[in-house]
Structure 1
Amino acid sequence: MFTDVQAVLFDLDGTLIDSAPDLGAAADKMRTERGLPSLPLEHYRPMAGAGARGMLGIAFGMTPEHPEFMAYREEFFVNYENAMTERTVIFDGVPDMIVAIVQAGLPWGVVTNKSSRFTDPLTAAMPLFATAGAIVSGDTTPHAKPHPEPLFEAARRLGVDPARCVYVGDDERDIVAGLAAGMGTVAATYGYLGQQTDVSRWNAHLHIDAPPTLLKYLRST
């Protein structure tokens, strides 16, 4: 149980929204345009939380050290930018969870490593985020997660003490950042998680296998 909670913060991809279909499609389009066979979404999904690095790794076995990586990454970005709301959906249970958080009088926000180039139009297009008091992207501050600064920035925007915040994410860097910020940390095990992940090693305060489960562990007073 988290006590005296004043705000709840969430990672975006793999925690609130399932963007893997659009991310995978952006990379798969690059494959098919080069005459390579399409790969099923199941290949891309586990690495969706790693963005371009993860998608290009699956699609082409390409690492950031590859001489063409930057060019491929920008092509991927353009593909994604042109179709980033076509297949993306909100995870089951998330809308009800957010409504309950708002009804409890708790401010909430998003802290993602996704660039504002994508975060801003994506969240603007989805009514879920209308009540978010802070949306912090990977380029909002000089540092991205696992550095705690984006979480501190979200707490500042919400006007709350970081120590009274809970941060929910589906990647180890989310938990590392949350712990470094002195926040309560929750591992969303329904998210992407990467490949061959042992979530128990993250040292999160809590694991949840469905969004509404979080509500049982929040106490604002």
Structure 2
Amino acid sequence: MPASTPASTPASTPDAAPDIAVHERHARSSPTRDIALVAAFGALICASAYIGAVPVGSAGVPITLQTLTVMLAGCVLGPLRGFSAVMLYLALGAVGLPVFAEHSSGIGVFSGPSGGYLIAFPLAAALAGFLVEYVARERRTRAIVVFACSFTAGALVVHLLGILGMMRFFDISFAEAAAYDAPFWIGDVVKTSLVAMIAAEVHRAFPQLLQRD
């Protein structure tokens, strides 16, 4: 009587390992997905410029949701793709599309009172993305950690360059420009909190988002 053959298990199937490798590879980003994400976040930043746009302080620089979406791009996409998404937004505005605050556009906006903030946006997104990806690392699923990364980038880049831009435009001292910038801090704490909660949930749901093929 012939010996019985042991039943094969899924673990012994030769295709199991390749299937796992393919799944992990698809979970990571690809050039096509990178382009789609950059375009999507660029469009999101454009839309956010129209929400709010309430001038505050003596400088008349409007409050919008741009800071929220700019920092969200960096914290979710990482430094390179976050930087690229914001640069796409700035490029669209520079060539004439009315995607800046108060439906403005053109190169001249960069030399206006809010020019320093615009120039700071891609740099802040890159710094926030760097901190989330390489400093926070696995802790990026915790909102408080993402908040620290985003707030640090906003304070060191957005507010600093915004103040320097107003100093140049209005020909005033650093202290006076900082007083113009002060009303934005409260709103930024709220927006940074939203960025932290959203980005942490995204990284919890898609842990491979910042990994590349």
Relative to the length of structure 2, the TM-score reads: 0.36
Relative to the length of structure 1, the TM-score reads: 0.35
Higher fraction of strand: 1
User: Highest Rg: 1 or 2?
Assistant: 2
Greater relative contact order, per chain length (Cα 8 Å cut-off, separation 6+): 1
